[in-house]
Amino acid sequence: MMPTLALLEAFDRHGALLARAPVTRWPVTVGRSLECDLVLDDPHVAPTHLRIDRAADAPRTVSVEVQHTLNGALLQRKRHASGERFDWPDGAPLEIGRTRIALRLADAPIAQELPLPHFPWRTLAATVALLALMLAAVLAAEWLKADDSTKYLKALPGALLGIALFMGGWAGLWAIANKVFDGHLQFWRHMRIACALYLGAEAVSLATSLAAFALSWEAVSRFGYVLITLVLAAGIYAHLAAVLPRRRTGLAWTVGAVLALGLPAWMGVQWLNHARLSNQLYMSSLFPPSLRVAPAVPVPQFTQEAGALRERLDRRVKADDDNEDEE
Burial label for 219, CB within 10 Å (0-12, 13-18, 19+), is exposed
Q: Order of strands, edge to edge, in the sheet holding 99-105?
A: 17-23, 6-11, 99-105, 94-96, 73-75, 78-80
Distance CA 239, CA 245 (A): 10
One-letter amino acid for residue 7 of the chain: L
What architecture does CATH give domain 6-105? Answer: Sandwich (2.60)
Distance CA 198, CA 94 (A): 40
Distance CA 112, CA 184 (A): 25
pLDDT confidence band for 255 (50 / 70 / 90):
very high
Mean pLDDT (the chain, rounded)? 86
Q: What pLDDT, in 10s, does the model give residues 268-323?
A: 888 888 777 777 766 777 777 888 888 877 778 777 777 777 777 777 777 766 66
Within 8 A by CB and 6+ apart from 282, the residues are none
Percent of the chain having pLDDT more than 90? 43
Report the pLDDT averaged over residues 45-60. 83
Report the pLDDT averaged over residues 153-166. 87
Q: What pLDDT, in 10s, does the model give residues 68-93?
A: 999 999 998 899 999 999 998 887 88
Question: What does the pLDDT read at residue 59?
Answer: 60
Q: What is the DSSP letter of 245?
A: G
Q: What pLDDT, in 10s, does the model give residues 174-230?
A: 999 998 888 788 999 999 999 999 999 999 988 888 888 888 887 788 888 889 999
Looking at per-residue pLDDT, the higher value among 301 and 156 belongs to 156
Q: 115 preceded by cis ω (within 30°)?
A: no
Residue (of 160, 196, 191) closest to 175 by Cα position: 191
54, 88 contact by CB (below 8 A): no
Question: What does the pLDDT read at residue 326?
Answer: 62
Question: What does the pLDDT read at residue 282?
Answer: 67
Distance CA 171, CA 187 (A): 6
Looking at per-residue pLDDT, the higher value among 144 and 75 belongs to 75
Question: What does the pLDDT read at residue 241?
Answer: 93
Residue (of 265, 284, 271, 299) closest to 224 by Cα position: 284
The distance from CA 72 to its chain's CA centroid, rounded to whole angstroms, is 30
Using the predicted structure, report yes or no on whether residue 57 has a pLDDT greater than 70.
no
Q: Where in the chain is the domain with CATH 2.60.200.20?
A: 6-105
Question: What does the pLDDT read at residue 37?
Answer: 93
pLDDT confidence band for 108 (50 / 70 / 90):
confident
